[in-house]
Structure 1
């Protein structure tokens, strides 16, 4: 076995260098067939991780509820002793944990509940054995009702198995109608792609849906149809395709040894919010087993992971909702006073709506308090606001300096078009020296791999306000990419708490 570590071959440092030399990430126009396929894949899917994670929560809740109900019926109606609460909760948690270690939450296991019947029974019995042993060692077993725990053993197992029967039917239905699948696009055609597709399709209980092939080579070198799947366009067209379709994974079907060509592809693809994998199916090079991820038994090398995915996205959304509501309540007096001041100061609407780039380069509408004269407002932001800009009203100067004009974006975050923390969204036509920001910074659209935010890492580090030089745009992009690569809820909380302090510095805000 070759002990080459792929992390050295495609290290984070090497990947970051892609930004310095990446080709323009402006997408090419799609052909009609690719556009039709993309339109059919526009709806969101349920990932296996979310399904199995939800089942863990449900099974814990079912076991806990069944234990509590039996306690009320058999021990003490309408009350609950603390020691029973602790034992029932601990037993429920232990059972879920043991099932996790026994691979009972793998999709293959969930689709075949009868095949895992004995495994689930063994796990549940082991849980009770552990509780009995703990009670014996602590000399407290006599304090608990044997009848109640005996009934819980039977009722808990029946409840879990019934839940898994229902889940198996749902998973099969979701798999049939495309509700639960991981959508993959093959990058690179020919014999290598055909071998990869055949290998993936042979995997039992496969949740991968191959949506098409993209390859820069012409039809002579890369056939228009591979293993029954059409070649939908070039790699540049794939960027536009992935912004219309909901794609989960790009699998680069090229030899690992073709490093130069692989890097050229990654220069174009890394801006997309998808998992990017390099097929190792037909490679003569072999790495340590932990270096791979797998589709069934098909090995893949992980190049990029989609940021803030699955349960991370659920946690971030909950964070946005909770803190947006808090912000709306706290700042409502300021927002009401600002609305009155704007109305008294100049004619026109209180709010200003602007089209900006959102997640995956989609256009979103962002709310702000109007800070310019209504007849001089610039929704496209082609002309940057400068110091002493005559278009800005008296009230507008104050609310822009203090960032009060951004407060309506709490509603954007509450409704989901923005996150509270993330790369600040720019207007779709924002320019620097008559160049769009994407033309100034290679890889600029990688900022859109996550949902944009009301505040961000770049802003609290001083990169806010007028973007009047190319260097400022590059630095803001660099800080945004750092945030994406290092995201965590604690990082979000840190940025949120630091924002009011850093906004006291109004040097670049006007």
Structure 2
């Protein structure tokens, strides 16, 4: 997370008109931002950490401590004479799960609580003691207390308490350090100006531990209802500018402050913003429509309605990363002989480099460079894919026809997955910059095309195994691809990735559309 102060930027940009974007040149694809928004988007942003991951890691650490200390006490005192009785081993997971439940009830799995080591220590002492007292009572009433060593229970109580204290100390130091560095903040922008936005900003500012860091607000209005500065934060442009801004810099959360009754206006804006890999919420702090408390989610104590969630976030992101790295590495090792043979064939067939590098759109429309085996003659290569490859294309070499037909030319993208990390094994295919269908750019053919960039692109995908691979010369083909890509994004799971990966070799046998 960057450590800038928005008010410092306001001082430096006092002479600029932040609400008025500079005119875009005719050949620019995206509108240019206002000077202040450009300056803010250019600031370096440090990676942030998900509070969900941190609290999940805390639970795993507590479970590990309880299991480890209980097993250590068992190994030291019981095992030398009696081995490892099942009655003892059976208590370990029960105590571990009960500990997590007790600490959860004590409010210790909240980022705010983790910052106070003393508060954590007291609550850990109380929770751990209650668990042992309840366990002793249960053993007494079931008349099984004589089966368990009191020395073992006492040793486990003391060592487990010490271990839990150490975990909370480490968590407290880590969370405090990350908080001060802004690494737990969610970079947030407000949509809409006026009283509703001002009251939302004031409500968030009055609370601790919301995890929200406001960058500014965007509003299509330019009259008195939407001033250039609101509650100390600047107006950065229009909703169209917000899409460009979120492509240039990290935006984690978008909050609409428009009234729920402004349905048409909200829907119009959402059509523009839903393509972003960002959580979108509708503030309900000023709404006269009162729903049941469980109908809302909350930012601090501010009620909001969930509109869109960032796909593949938190632990799902960790699981997908592990899947890509582990399975990608295994595939790279297993397919290395085939990679070498293909490279040799490309080299012997025509002069030039073995690998071909091509710029493509990746996650959140970032430009990435993907590797492929070269399938065209060097002097006829098309780095931007301005012209689609067609059947019998004279630009394609003899070996190129084979490796394109079998998709062997895609194998070097395993290096993108394992080493560079800008591709996944499974995901929407990364289309080239100037790829067209019926002489129109893909994003002009399909409304919301860039929504497929809400996740990392992949080597293979749901569209490819369903027959939508190869030439995209018609609008229908690209539309069907996008439909399948969006279905994949909305229904992702590790099992879904595995199914697609296993079906990919079979899909390659149906290669009538691949040239």
| Structure 1 unmatched ranges of 5 or more | 1-24
Q: What is the correspondence of 1:87-486 to structure 2 with a 5 Å cutoff?
A: 87-129=91-133, 131-132=135-136, 141-415=145-419, 416-486=421-491
**How many residues of Structure 1 are paired with residues of Structure 2 in the alignment?**
486
The CA distance in 2 between the partners of 1:254 and 1:73, in whole Å, is: 64
Q: Report the secondary structure of 1:115's partner residue.
A: helix
Contact 2:121 2:168 in 1 (8 A): no
The TM-score normalised by the length of structure 2 is: 0.90
Contact 1:424 1:453 in 2 (8 A): yes
Shift of 1:97: 3.1
* Highest RCO, 1 vs 2 (Cα 8 Å, sep ≥ 6): 1
After superposition, the Cα gap between the structure-2 partners of 1:239 and 1:26, relative to the gap in structure 1 and judged at 3 Å, is farther
After superposition, the Cα gap between the structure-2 partners of 1:354 and 1:79, relative to the gap in structure 1 and judged at 3 Å, is farther
Please name the residue that 1:56 is paired with. 59
Contact 1:212 1:230 in 2 (8 A): yes
After superposition, the Cα gap between the structure-2 partners of 1:493 and 1:266, relative to the gap in structure 1 and judged at 3 Å, is same
The CA distance in 2 between the partners of 1:262 and 1:205, in whole Å, is: 29
The TM-score normalised by the length of structure 1 is: 0.90
Cα deviation 1:374-417 (Å, max 9, x = unaligned) = 11111110000000111111111111111111111112111211
Contact 2:78 2:84 in 1 (8 A): no
Q: Report the secondary structure of 1:353's partner residue.
A: strand
Cα deviation 1:8-41 (Å, max 9, x = unaligned) = xxxxxxxxxxxxxxxxx96421222112222335
Cα deviation 1:402-438 (Å, max 9, x = unaligned) = 1111111112111211011110000112122332111
Please name the residue that 1:29 is paired with. 32
Contact 2:70 2:92 in 1 (8 A): yes
Shift of 1:102: 3.9
Contact 2:437 2:474 in 1 (8 A): yes
Shift of 1:476: 0.5
The CA distance in 2 between the partners of 1:310 and 1:251, in whole Å, is: 20
The CA distance in 2 between the partners of 1:446 and 1:426, in whole Å, is: 13
State which of 72, 75, 78 in structure 2 corresponds to 1:75.
Answer: 78
The CA distance in 1 between the partners of 2:473 and 2:386, in whole Å, is: 12
Contact 1:44 1:246 in 2 (8 A): no
After superposition, the Cα gap between the structure-2 partners of 1:294 and 1:153, relative to the gap in structure 1 and judged at 3 Å, is same
Cα deviation 1:79-114 (Å, max 9, x = unaligned) = 972634443243223312332344320122222343
The CA distance in 2 between the partners of 1:387 and 1:100, in whole Å, is: 62
Contact 1:72 1:79 in 2 (8 A): no
Please name the residue that 2:24 is paired with. none
Shift of 1:129: 4.2
| Structure 2 unmatched ranges of 5 or more | 1-27
Contact 1:203 1:295 in 2 (8 A): no
The CA distance in 1 between the partners of 2:462 and 2:145, in whole Å, is: 54
Cα deviation 1:19-65 (Å, max 9, x = unaligned) = xxxxxx96421222112222335322112112111111222222222
The CA distance in 1 between the partners of 2:44 and 2:290, in whole Å, is: 35
Cα deviation 1:120-144 (Å, max 9, x = unaligned) = 3333234334544665677654443
After superposition, the Cα gap between the structure-2 partners of 1:295 and 1:455, relative to the gap in structure 1 and judged at 3 Å, is same
Shift of 1:474: 0.8
After superposition, the Cα gap between the structure-2 partners of 1:80 and 1:91, relative to the gap in structure 1 and judged at 3 Å, is farther
After superposition, the Cα gap between the structure-2 partners of 1:136 and 1:391, relative to the gap in structure 1 and judged at 3 Å, is farther
Shift of 1:282: 0.6
The CA distance in 1 between the partners of 2:490 and 2:227, in whole Å, is: 37
Contact 2:120 2:168 in 1 (8 A): no
RMSD of aligned Cα (Å): 2.1
